[in-house]
Amino acid sequence: MADLSGFDANSVEPTGDFEAIPAGKYLAVITESEMKPTKSGTGSLLQLTFQIIEGQYQNRLVWARLNLDNPNAVAVQIARADLSAICRAVGVTNPKDSAELHNLPLLIQVRCRNRLDTGDVVNEIKGYAKRQVPTPVAPPVQTAPANNATAPWKRA
């Protein structure tokens, strides 16, 4: 239990319902990671919390669940491929702990889908990529203006 004496809900604006964010690419970081048992109890998954770090949806959270230990070999193969993409995107190719992936920017590709049980629209991450760093553009070469209008090869 936690002591909440002194808290007055009437003095604080309540949070509203969060709608799914639109499908698209977002710059994000992993803020939390945790191994959890699967619902069936026959394996475990790595749950990753991604926080969007820029744009209109800054600070919104999106989750990924990677079935790294599962009786279904295809589920494990997909999870390992996703983990590989995440590791490559953040530049940590041999992590010893999932915390090594935290707070490193990467692009996530988010899509929207309908939940089968409720029909609600929810987000899921369908891709990971390295952060796009803008390539510096060299300034244009400045040439000194000519003092007279005659071309140099015509001057005497």
Per-residue pLDDT of the chain (156 residues; tens, 9 = 90+): 788 888 888 888 777 667 899 999 999 999 999 999 999 999 999 999 999 999 999 999 999 999 999 999 999 999 999 999 999 999 999 999 999 999 999 999 999 999 999 999 999 999 999 998 776 777 776 665 555 566 555 665
- Let me know if residue 15 belongs to a domain: no
Tokens at 49, concatenated: 């919390």
Give long-range contacts, CB 8 A cutoff, 24+ apart: 109-113. Answer: 109/24, 109/25, 110/21, 110/23, 110/24, 110/25, 110/26, 110/62, 111/23, 112/20, 112/22, 112/23
Residue 100 CB coordination number (10 Å):
15
φ, ψ dihedrals at 26, nearest 5°: -135, 140
Cα distance between residue 135 and residue 113, in whole Å: 35
- Expressed as residue numbers, the domain containing 93 is 20-130
- Let me know if residue 156 belongs to a domain: no
The total number of structural domains that make up the chain: 1
Cα distance between residue 65 and residue 74, in whole Å: 14
User: For residue 57, what is the domain's CATH number?
Assistant: 2.40.50
- Let me know if residue 138 belongs to a domain: no
- Let me know if residue 3 belongs to a domain: no
Closest CA to 67 of 36, 92, 98, 88: 36
- Let me know if residue 143 belongs to a domain: no
- Let me know if residue 120 belongs to a domain: yes
Spell out the alpha helix ranges (H) of 18-148: 73-90
The model's pTM is: 0.76
Tokens at 148, concatenated: 């007279």
